[in-house]
Structure 1
Amino acid sequence: MKIIECPRDAMQGWESFIPTQSKVDYINQLLKVGFDTIDFGSFVSPKAIPQMRDTAEVLSQLDLSESSTKLLAIVANLRGAEEACLHKEISYLGFPLSLSETFQQKNTNKSITEALAIVQGIQSLCVKHNKVLVVYLSMGFGNPYGDPYEPALVTEFVNRLDAMKIKIISLSDTVGVSAPANIIALFEEVIPAFPHIEFGAHLHSTKESAWEKIEAVYQAGCRRMDGAINGYGGCPMAENDLVGNMATEQITAFCSDRSIQTGLKDDQFLKCLKLASVVFANR
């Protein structure tokens, strides 16, 4: 199982600014664990996400010398993608594409049609700069805004992204409406239909429902999953009661219970759990 750790997702909606050095220390410790990828920051407008205004500064202080973990940065437009592409340390650019017209406007101030054009532009930049674009299909499991939603819409969007030669697509819950039945149905639909695409799961969940969701993801054949230690985070653009990220420690516990290999170093992960309580304390 590839586990993607998302400190950016955990931090971005945090009310008070987390000092740059605290971010650096935390991510440097995460780099010792053995995660496949760390979603570490974003190149977006500081007016929209002020918590991430120091992403370039954080990046300049990360120690990648003894880590095989790859870095992912979120971008919301071509300007951000161009900036991210200047950094050789970044392997992946992530773009949030929504099935919901309402949420696309809230998240990137663009329509879906405009966002798809941006995806094409970012994909061209990624090919040019030897990066890989990861597209997050938000509202992938349901829509709380009353916009049209049905599972066939997910396949329609995947078809559009496949035509652009997008190689990694993460089906994203965003507001915590996923359940085992729709998780299994969606992944069992798209994984066999697009075997050349790597599908991931970016779910939000309460701790009580996390285990059954992780089990559904694995049962459906998905082998890439996002998490955030202690389930911190939630999308600040959703304007709903935030449901936190999938807790990484619950993903690792599930994998341990099923003897699923993750490649993570338990001793270093425990240090991250302790450090997280400091980084996210009283803020």
Structure 2
Amino acid sequence: MTTTTFPNSTQGETRTVHIREVGPRDGFQNEPETIATEDKIRLINALGRAGLKRIEVASFVRPDVIPQLADGVAVLRGIDVPADVSRMVLVPNSKGLDNALAHRDLFEEIALFVSASETHNRRNINRTVQETMDDVRGMGKRIVAEGVSYSAVIATSFGCPFEGPVPMERVLDLAERFAESGATELGFGDTTGMCNPAYASRFFAAAVERLPGVEITAHFHNTRGQGLANAYAALEAGCRSFESSCGELGGCPVPAGSTGNIATEDLVSMFHEMGVDTGLDLDRLIAAARDAQSTLGRKLTSHSIVAGPVIWAPAV
């Protein structure tokens, strides 16, 4: 991997961020055409070779609900990533946790989730927020007892397409309840792309202050074109952990029209130009995203797929 010092990068101490790739789960689940298991495996292997240390691989949801993820166990068994890559699975409820723990040897991290919006939670998993959080207490204890890394995700943290603004206090209260159940990482999801940089700055400053000792992760969608700006605002507010998806894959099935996550390669390109260390090989990330584009047979919306990385000519 080649490290380049850009003329417009931030001077002073180098900042380091951690990026989790969510394309193989969060990205692919919204694709209408069934993606072959071997294509998923090839993409995950390529992402692992690009230096990603954390990849969201699969979800233990009912196959009739999300058929695209029905081959999750086969994907987990088939991938060949470096030994230092942490494989994450998403679990919706206690039944999903039972199924996941039956394959405990195939992953290192489990993520539980809830929507901060009551309406979105009902439409997404057909439960109230309280029902979900009641289940979380028991699931969290089981995950911790198994010695698995436990993360939590709060969807619609920055706004709900059905209810409108979501109070910051409600989101942070849910985050504290997850932390009390044993979660060591809290991810805040801009599920339908309703955040803006000013609010991201205030929100992540408050989250970092209120949740000491917990890894704070930003998960932005680019539905309205503000994803990278929001990531920058979160970075400046003290967030050092991000989730993104190769090729800008993804979206939210509830409601329609919610487009993908920020592209991993675009996020990394921005950070590298700013002098922020990601530990990732941008060329390999772009190659993986282009392979995903070829597999899907349609043009993806990542800018780096088209433009490639920034290359500065040597000074004359």
TM-score range, shorter chain: over 0.9
Which of 186, 204, 223 lines up with 1:187 in the alignment? 204
Aligned residues: 281
**Residue in structure 1 matched with residue 242 of structure 2 by the alignment:** 225
The farther-off stretch of 227-236 and 155-164 is: 155-164
TM-score, length-scaled by structure 1: 0.94
TM-score, length-scaled by structure 2: 0.84
Q: Deviations over 1:162-203 (max 9, x none)?
A: 322321110111000010111111111110121111110111
Which of 79, 101, 115 lines up with 1:62 in the alignment? 79
Instruction: State the 1:144 CA deviation.
Output: 2.0
| Matched ranges for 1:101-120 at <5 A | 101-120=118-137
**Residue in structure 2 matched with residue 51 of structure 1 by the alignment:** 68
Q: Deviations over 1:34-76 (max 9, x none)?
A: 1131011111001111100000011111113x34221111111
**SS at 1:143's partner residue?**
coil
The reply to whether residue 263 of structure 1 matches residue 279 of structure 2 is yes
How far apart are the structure 2 equivalents of 1:57 and 1:155? 36
**Residue in structure 2 matched with residue 176 of structure 1 by the alignment:** 193
**SS at 1:189's partner residue?**
helix
| Matched ranges for 1:90-129 at <5 A | 90-129=107-146
Q: 2:150·2:182 contact (CA, 8 Å) conserved in 1?
A: no
How far apart are the structure 2 equivalents of 1:264 and 1:279? 23
Change (3 A) 1:44 1:135: same
**Residue in structure 1 matched with residue 217 of structure 2 by the alignment:** 200
Q: 1:234·1:245 contact (CA, 8 Å) conserved in 2?
A: yes
**Structure 2: any 5+ residue segments left out of the alignment?**
1-16, 300-316
Root-mean-square deviation (Å): 1.7
How far apart are the structure 1 equivalents of 2:279 and 2:83? 12
Q: 1:82·1:125 contact (CA, 8 Å) conserved in 2?
A: no
- 4+ residue runs of structure 1 moved beyond 4 angstroms? none
Q: 2:18·2:278 contact (CA, 8 Å) conserved in 1?
A: yes
How far apart are the structure 2 equivalents of 1:211 and 1:155? 23
Q: 1:4·1:35 contact (CA, 8 Å) conserved in 2?
A: yes
Change (3 A) 1:206 1:102: closer
**Structure 1: any 5+ residue segments left out of the alignment?**
none
**Residue in structure 2 matched with residue 16 of structure 1 by the alignment:** 33
**Residue in structure 2 matched with residue 235 of structure 1 by the alignment:** 252
Residue 57 of structure 1 aligns with an amino acid whose one-letter code is: A
Instruction: State the 1:213 CA deviation.
Output: 1.3
Instruction: State the 1:207 CA deviation.
Output: 7.8
Which of 28, 43, 55 lines up with 1:26 in the alignment? 43
| Matched ranges for 1:242-257 at <5 A | 242-257=258-273
The farther-off stretch of 248-257 and 141-150 is: 141-150
**Residue in structure 2 matched with residue 158 of structure 1 by the alignment:** 175
Residue 19 of structure 2 aligns with an amino acid whose one-letter code is: I
Larger radius of gyration: 2
Residue 281 of structure 1 aligns with an amino acid whose one-letter code is: G
Q: 2:197·2:226 contact (CA, 8 Å) conserved in 1?
A: no
The reply to whether residue 89 of structure 1 matches residue 106 of structure 2 is yes
How far apart are the structure 2 equivalents of 1:225 and 1:264? 13
Residue 103 of structure 1 aligns with an amino acid whose one-letter code is: H
Residue 272 of structure 1 aligns with an amino acid whose one-letter code is: A
Which of 212, 221, 238 lines up with 2:229 in the alignment? 212
